[in-house]
Amino acid sequence: MSLQSPVASRRRRLKPENSLASWADAMKLTRVVRNLRSFERRVRQARMLARAIKSRHHPILAHIIPIRRCNLSCAYCNEYDKVSNPVPTEEMLHRIDLLAALGTGIITCSGGEPLLHPDLDRLIRRIRTQGMIATLITNGYLLTPERIKRLNRAGLEHLQISIDNVQPDDVSKKSLKVLDKKLQWLADYAEFDININSVLGGGIQHPTDALSITRRALELGFETTVGIIHDHSGQLSPLQTEERAVYEQIQSERKPAFWAFAYDNLFHKNLTLGQANDWHCRAGSRYLYVCEDGLVHYCSQQRGYPAIPLDKYTSEDLEREYWTQKSCAPYCTISCVHRVAMVDLIREKPREAIARFFPPAAPGEPTRLPLGVKVLSSIFLPRQNGKPQSTAVKAAAGAVTRLLGIK
C-alpha cells in the first residue's frame, strides 16, 4: 500500500505545461474581472461628475496623508520625511467621515508612502462604505501579489504609480528596472484601474525614458499620463527642446481618453512651452489637501494656506476658497487641481469649455468633437439658435439624468 497522499500524488503528476496553462487562465480571469469592474467604476465616476457639475457646494477630490514617512528619498520631492509615525487609524477614519459629511466625491490616499500605514485597507474600506471613490498614489515598492489582492478585497478603485526613469540614479529610485516586476503583478492580479505616470523636467537625466515607460504601460494595458515636474512651490520649470519632442511623441502614442485629452489641450500644452494658464484655481473648496496633522491646505505645494483643522472646516470655508484668487495658479503644475477646475468650467461655461477642450486642428477649421460629447451637448445644452428642444431630446435628457442619479 502506498503511503503517499492523494494530493501529493496529483501534484507530482501535474505537468508543467498544465500548470502554466492554469496560471494563464487565472490571469485572463483577473483581467476580465478588472474590465467588468472598470465599467461599474465608470458609471460611478459619471454620477460623481454629474453631481459635481450640478452643484459647486462640495469638494470633488480630497488628498489625505495617512503617513508622511517614505521608504525612498527622491531628490526633487518635498512631500516626505524619514521619521513620522502613521497617523492613528481611528483619527484617519474620523477624517474620512468628516470629508464624507462635506460631500466629497473622491478620496486619494497619498504620502509619504501610504502603503507604510498598517491599516491602509481599513481606510480604503471606510472610504467605500461612505459612498466615495477610493484611490491610491504609491511608489510601488511595497507591492506584492498578496498585497495587491488585499487592495482588491479592500475595494480600491484606482492606483497610480509615477515612474521617473528606466535605470535608478541619484535623483530617483522609482525606475522601470526596479518596478517592472511590480507592474507585471498589477497586470496579473489587480482588479482596480491602474495609471502609470511618466515625468519630464526637474532634473530627469534622460527624457526619452518617459517614452519607454509610457510604452511599457500601454503594453500591459494600463492608462498612462505624463507629468511635468514642478519646483519646490509647485511652479513650472519649462521643458527643453528634447523634452518637448518626447512629450509630443508620447501624446501621439498614448491616445488619451476624453478627460486626459481635454486636460492636455487646456493646461499641459501651455506648460510644456513655459506659458501661463488662464484659469481659476478652486483649491480649498473643490479640492482639499489634508495633511498628516489634519489641517486643510490648498495643495501639497502650498501647505500653510488656509491651514484650518478639518474638523472645523465648514461650508463657509468652501465658499470663500471657491472664489479666492491664488497667485500661484498661472504656472501651477498640480494636475489634480487643474482637473477639478475643469469640472467647474463645464458647469459655468459649457460651450466655452468644450471649445477649449477640443480646439480646431488649425485656425479657421471646425472643431471636431467626440461623438459622446456631441450627443451630450445636444441633449443638455440650449440650442444656439434659441429654438426650444424637441420632445424626444427632453425625454433623452430625463433618461440620462435618472441614469446618473441626478435629482
pLDDT single digits (tens) 128-152: 999 999 999 999 999 999 999 999 9
pLDDT tens readout for residues 287-300: 999 999 999 999 99
Residue 343 pLDDT more than 70?
A: yes
Mean pLDDT of 328-353: 91
Domains, the chain: 25-350 (3.20.20.70), 369-407 (no CATH)
Bridge partners, 83 (sequence order) = none
Task: Read off φ and ψ for residue 290, nearest 5 degrees.
Answer: -105, 110
Q: Phi and psi (nearest 5°) for 183?
A: -65, -40
Residues 6+ apart with CB under 8 A from 124: 109, 134, 136, 151, 154, 155, 156
CA-to-CA dists, residue 117 to 134, 278, 371, angstroms:
16, 38, 43
pLDDT of amino acid 274: 85
CA-based nearest residue to 279, from 360, 359, 338, 221: 338
Q: What is the pLDDT of residues 297-333, one digit of tens each?
A: 999 999 999 999 999 999 999 999 999 999 999 989 8
Residues 6+ apart with CB under 8 A from 335: 225, 227, 263, 267
CA–CA gap between residue 259 and residue 346 (Å, rounded): 12
Which set of grid coordinates corresponds to residue 167? 535605470
More confident residue, 374 or 268: 268
Judge if pTM exceeds 0.85.
yes
Span 111-129, mean pLDDT? Answer: 98
Model confidence pLDDT, tens digit, residues 172-183: 889 999 999 999
